[in-house]
Structure 1
Amino acid sequence: MSAALKTHPSIPRPALARTHLPRSEDFLLWSPCLQSYGYRIVDQLFATRVIQRGQDIRPTPRGDELELDYEHQGQPRSVEAFMDRNSVAGLLVIRDGEVVLERYGLGLRPGERWSTMSTVKSMTAILVGAAIRDGAIDDIDDPVVRYLPQLRDSGYAKVTVRQLMTMSSGVGWTEDYTDRASDVNRYSKSLADKVPGGVLRMLQAVPGLHAPGTRWHYNTGDTYLLGCVLCAATKRSLSEYMSDTIWKPCGMQDDAFYTLESEDGQEIAGSRAGMSLRDMGRFAWLIASDGVMDGQQVLPAGWVEKVAERAFDIPRDFHPSRLSLGLTGYGFGWWLTDDGAMMAMGHSGQRIYVNRAEKLALVNLAVYPEPRYVNAQEHDRDAELHSFIRACR
């Protein structure tokens, strides 16, 4: 037998302890147990960039503990029942600038970062006002191609910055979380594979479907491009701009992060950032107080009011949560109710509620099961959250 054909016994190797991580490309399809683990370790699954806190941490004013029981569908419930029934990882209520309720579950602890999901869309939209104030963006009706000329031959050729913020680009993007072939799941896989420029190439290929500005259609790609516009206009990374514009002036307690499309690549402006519960609460309170924090005008005067202007009505058949939470309109990245409240909405139960008139803010971090894991006994979790919010008012 020739030397080339000789076989050698395998060399034994000692068994090593290793940590198994869930598949990042299945991020929008995980089972509930994987969600409750994976939403705490997003920075181990995707490329990320830190949103740095400043040296001065704003103390969290504490009010009297909110002694709250609420009623849902005729049944009395407690805060503890609310958290158990709805798989809540974090719950924070702020009244008149004071934290009156702060609870943790599912192993989440103070200071740990949980996935924002799409609530970060609303946060990113807030930065546009700062970019206008800073002279980086001239006008929200500027065409996107002014800042991103590589889109001139795409379905975004005639879309404006305003239309990105109001989800009215008119492109034929599919936001179906249950379909692996949908645009949003292909986008998610590109992030998992950390493909440089992969998301932008996807968006360059999405065709125009309707005239820009004529129809509302939920589109994570629109907010991705909004982040690209902000970076091109300010000539800074989105993480840096968020840090200097909001995180440091508001005295945030913890570093946060944006997910990136690839290692050292573009931030994902519209999904899966990581933030602590308390800092999400601080952000919510900044909005509830019209951009003022401790007497300092952090956001341009009047910008929150502008953000809360209704641009489109939400179709009644869009999603069950639209009816369950009383959401009827969409502004600049924020969902709106008929009574003047605003909400930032994220996949699988991430919710930020702001009522400026009542000086009330609430953050809910949770694990709502994906559609294929929903059983016949599953209750309407958003309807119960709505009952809880009403009891806090």
Structure 2
Amino acid sequence: MNPDTTLRKPYSPKMLKQGDIGAWPVVGALIAIAVIFSTLNDRFLSAQNLTTLALQMAATGTIALGIVMVLLLGEIDLSAGSVSGLCATIMTIVSVKQGWQPLLAILAALLAGTAIGLLHGLMLTRLRMPSFVITLAGLMGWQGLLLYLLREGGTINLPFTGFISKLSDTWLPGWLSWLVVAGLVIVSGGVGLLNRTARVKAGLPAPPAWWPPVRAGGLGVLLGAAVLIMSADRGVPLLLVIFGTLVVGFDLMLRHTAFGRHVYAVGGNAEAARRAGINVARIRVLAFMLASTLAAAGGILAASRLSAVNQQSGGSDVLLMAIAAAVIGGTSLFGGRGRAYAALLGVLVIQSITSGMFLLSVDSSVRLMVTAAVLALAVAIDSLARKGPVR
């Protein structure tokens, strides 16, 4: 069984030698991307481009966050794209054609996603069907249902001035952006100190006392720089705040709750987890429910940006980019290793590559090949890391 991430020390050179490389390759890739594209085009690091990048990553990143949940179990969800499009379509139909209030329409879409995840989870645990087959069938079936619901016109537009469309056209005022940054820094530092105190009392290895405040301070510097840059353009987009809140919330859940520890345990070794008294079937069902709910949330954010749903909603390369983001961000395909921040880091890499190549007028075929190479490299690093200590 892979060790629970709550029992790990902060990353150190010793841990790197042992194969636990964490997010450092992704951070290095982001730095390299920034240097290369800013050298080739000075608009890459402009406030306008970075704000647009932040806006674009929210929908795919939210879907990728759900993919992280199932990858941690060593499973896969190929239906996430179709689920996102279908749930967005349900929201739009009940809102536009049935006259439901926007919040009720959004709730209906999220509940539809949860129900789909429950179905997938029960098929996995009760019928013992492989998740690959279940979600491959879901990819086709839910896409077919979307086409059936849109059969008359093919496209349904959302009111540009409506609540749902405003989600992607709302920008935080400066004071609120700084308040959010301060809150995240306080939460990060507080959780780190509480976790360290608990580990010391339990006699477990704990980071030095200076580590939690230094880490929180580093987070504050990064977030503050992001706020300064985006404030020079339109400001911090609400979609980014929603996505960031989901990432932070799920990271805390995975690292500091019994459910999160059980997810890592099941992904590391399901049989050992079962013998330890963990209800493996329940964990799997809940993970698939969360994954599909997050896919629905991603579909809602995508529909908000387009102010419409159509037959391509959730299609094209949405699923592939979401899976690639989760893996590139550091989530292991073999289960038991990864963090919620993988969705954020991975989608940032993919969107940065897309943005940079768009500014350079590079053909989309080249973008796909470059993204594929980055994905292959991420999987290769993960595979090598699992072989154990470097000898």
Q: Which has the larger radius of gyration?
A: 1
Higher relative contact order (CA 8 A, sep 6+): 2
TM-score, normalised on structure 2? 0.31
TM-score, normalised on structure 1? 0.31
